[in-house]
Chain A
């Protein structure tokens, strides 16, 4: 054994040095277990503020832990390097002091009389030095590979995921609508899962703050994809901070404004179509729920009147809240918002802001009172004045309400070519009673309206909107509503926007065959 050591002393010193270098490096990693500096959400926030302009909504960058490879990995590597330098300096201190600086006896004595000692020690420390730094550079390369992958492969995955989310948003009409302030936003704010934190996250998307998972300032993890987070986190409106229903920003959200002249039958039509939709859903065992108390109360009252065959009351000039309902449960639920406004609001500039829902609606319903058409009124006045009295004829020319809404939409820069319009000729039951034959096919209804003098309205609507279908509905006397189902226009609009509504396919095919 002794002879082996004597004959292979230098080799043993080198081998021991190699092993010790590995231990040395492992020891330097110990610094990662201590409280080394962290790149905190606050640091990220302050850094982002330099290039982020906070708008009037006072929404700043999100306070989130950035992904490890972004900064923390480099900070960890620097700490390990610093620690390794200190350890190597410690290791070299005694040999350097002894063999090169002469602090532990004369140097010549070490190098001439005890040559094997400095040689073995220096071989040991040299091997340890090389191994520890080789190990560090392997660690450096691993971190670099992490960062490189993050900036190339993972970054492209993030772009792909963001694109997929955006495509889903556009194709499924998932923009979140707040029924409190009528603000529509592509992505609402999602709040941290931790009830003690509840921090809002306004830019929840796959990013350097997390590709699939995001870590809030409080450390709580949640999905970084809005299509997944919407079903787990609380969503709020970015403008009024009101709470949105679960799934907002990820489920189909269709807004249907109903417009028309005063006494055209908008409110009646709205509740009659809602009644038809609810009945069809019940038959198909599809759960229907109202999204807020005001919707529930208004709908219950309206549906009660419709089912009892009573007249609906006139919409107050100050307007009424939208009716928001949810079809189905779970991830394939759909939100539907029905808007109604008093006819006076369309012709009064005072209510301009109250009609903001017109600009955000994807599917419009124009309710046209046939008795407001001069030619029809002339026919009925002589032959059947009682019908005319029962009709509560709309106040203005049928084209005025249409023109006001279309002009407003155009003025707001809304592309009408992307919207669908259902032109609903109301009071079909009264037309029957007056002895006027009422068509049920869209092209026949359009032809009849042209014959009655509404050539401009019919041609303009066909030219301006992406898709126009004409309907005749009987909302009061359901016994005569054969072929004039008030639910048909709503089902057509919803089905055209991808809502799996009962009877929707039939409504679509009926409209396309017209």
Chain B
């Protein structure tokens, strides 16, 4: 059965969103981008 176009489109969207989040987290970790305030060096320290 040939995979319909809408399934391929949905797969691309989900994967793209996931990769975007991962990249943003990675960039945030080194202090770049919108997530740097959460994951970057300047983020508030949590824990002991």
Q: Does A65 contact B (CB under 8 A)?
A: yes
Chain A's closest residue to B15 (CB) is A29
Please report the C-alpha to C-alpha distance between residue A262 and residue B2 in the assembled complex, in whole angstroms.
Answer: 63
Min C-beta distance of A109 to chain B, whole Å? 37
From residue 63 to 103 of chain A, which have CB atoms closer than 8 A to chain B? 65, 68-69, 72-73, 76
Please report the C-alpha to C-alpha distance between residue A159 and residue B19 in the assembled complex, in whole angstroms.
Answer: 33
Q: A22-B22, A38-B1, A40-B1 are in contact. Are A142 and B6 (CB under 8 A)?
A: no
Please report the C-alpha to C-alpha distance between residue A135 and residue B10 in the assembled complex, in whole angstroms.
Answer: 18
Please report the C-alpha to C-alpha distance between residue A219 and residue B21 in the assembled complex, in whole angstroms.
Answer: 31
Contact at B3–A38, with CB atoms within 8 Å? yes
Contact at A65–B10, with CB atoms within 8 Å? no
Please report the C-alpha to C-alpha distance between residue A301 and residue B10 in the assembled complex, in whole angstroms.
Answer: 58
Contact at B14–A72, with CB atoms within 8 Å? no
Residues of B within 8 A of A141 (CB): 18
Q: Does A215 contact B (CB under 8 A)?
A: yes
Q: Does A508 contact B (CB under 8 A)?
A: no
Please report the C-alpha to C-alpha distance between residue A135 and residue B25 in the assembled complex, in whole angstroms.
Answer: 10
Contact at B2–A142, with CB atoms within 8 Å? no
Contact at A32–B1, with CB atoms within 8 Å? no
Residues of A within 8 A of B6 (CB): 65, 68, 213, 215, 221
8 Å CB contact of A38 from B7, B17, B26? B7
Contact at B15–A32, with CB atoms within 8 Å? yes
Contact at B14–A139, with CB atoms within 8 Å? yes
Q: A142-B14, A143-B14 are in contact. Are A26 and B7 (CB under 8 A)?
A: no
Chain A's closest residue to B14 (CB) is A142
Q: Does B44 contact A (CB under 8 A)?
A: no
Min C-beta distance of B10 to chain A, whole Å? 4
Q: Does A231 contact B (CB under 8 A)?
A: no
Interface size on A, residues (CB 8 A): 26
Interface size on B, residues (CB 8 A): 18
Residues of B within 8 A of A26 (CB): 19
Contact at A138–B18, with CB atoms within 8 Å? yes
Q: A22-B26, A135-B18 are in contact. Are A76 and B2 (CB under 8 A)?
A: no
Please report the C-alpha to C-alpha distance between residue A221 and residue B7 in the assembled complex, in whole angstroms.
Answer: 12
Residues of B within 8 A of A138 (CB): 18, 21-22, 25
Please report the C-alpha to C-alpha distance between residue A29 and residue B13 in the assembled complex, in whole angstroms.
Answer: 13
Q: Does A146 contact B (CB under 8 A)?
A: yes
Residues of A within 8 A of B19 (CB): 26
Q: A65-B7, A219-B4 are in contact. Are A73 and B14 (CB under 8 A)?
A: yes
Chain B's closest residue to A29 (CB) is B15
Contact at B10–A68, with CB atoms within 8 Å? yes
Residues of B within 8 A of A142 (CB): 14, 17-18, 21
Please report the C-alpha to C-alpha distance between residue A138 and residue B4 in the assembled complex, in whole angstroms.
Answer: 25
Contact at B21–A32, with CB atoms within 8 Å? no
Contact at B1–A139, with CB atoms within 8 Å? no
Please report the C-alpha to C-alpha distance between residue A146 and residue B14 in the assembled complex, in whole angstroms.
Answer: 8
Min C-beta distance of B28 to chain A, whole Å? 13
From residue 205 to 249 of chain A, which have CB atoms closer than 8 A to chain B? 213, 215, 219, 221
Contact at A65–B15, with CB atoms within 8 Å? no
Please report the C-alpha to C-alpha distance between residue A34 and residue B5 in the assembled complex, in whole angstroms.
Answer: 14
Contact at A215–B4, with CB atoms within 8 Å? yes
8 Å CB contact of B15 from A22, A72, A139, A215? A139
Min C-beta distance of A136 to chain B, whole Å? 9
Name the residue among A25, A135, A142 with the largest chain B CB count within 10 angstroms: A142
Contact at B18–A139, with CB atoms within 8 Å? yes
Contact at B10–A219, with CB atoms within 8 Å? no
From residue 1 to 39 of chain B, which have CB atoms closer than 8 A to chain A? 1-7, 10-11, 14-15, 17-19, 21-22, 25-26
Chain A's closest residue to B29 (CB) is A18
Please report the C-alpha to C-alpha distance between residue A141 and residue B15 in the assembled complex, in whole angstroms.
Answer: 11
Please report the C-alpha to C-alpha distance between residue A25 and residue B23 in the assembled complex, in whole angstroms.
Answer: 13
Min C-beta distance of B26 to chain A, whole Å? 7
Residues of B within 8 A of A139 (CB): 14-15, 18
Chain B's closest residue to A221 (CB) is B6
Chain A's closest residue to B4 (CB) is A219
Chain B's closest residue to A69 (CB) is B10
B-facing mask of A1-38, CB < 8 A → 1, else 0?
00000000000000000100010011001001000001
Q: A142-B18, A142-B21 are in contact. List 8 more A-B contacts (CB 8 A).
A: A40-B1, A69-B10, A73-B10, A134-B22, A138-B18, A138-B21, A219-B2, A221-B6
| Interface residue ranges, B against A (CB under 8 Å) | 1-7, 10-11, 14-15, 17-19, 21-22, 25-26
What are the 10 tightest A-B residue pairs by CB atom distance, in nearest-first order?
Answer: A68-B10, A139-B18, A142-B18, A219-B4, A142-B17, A138-B18, A135-B22, A138-B21, A32-B11, A142-B14
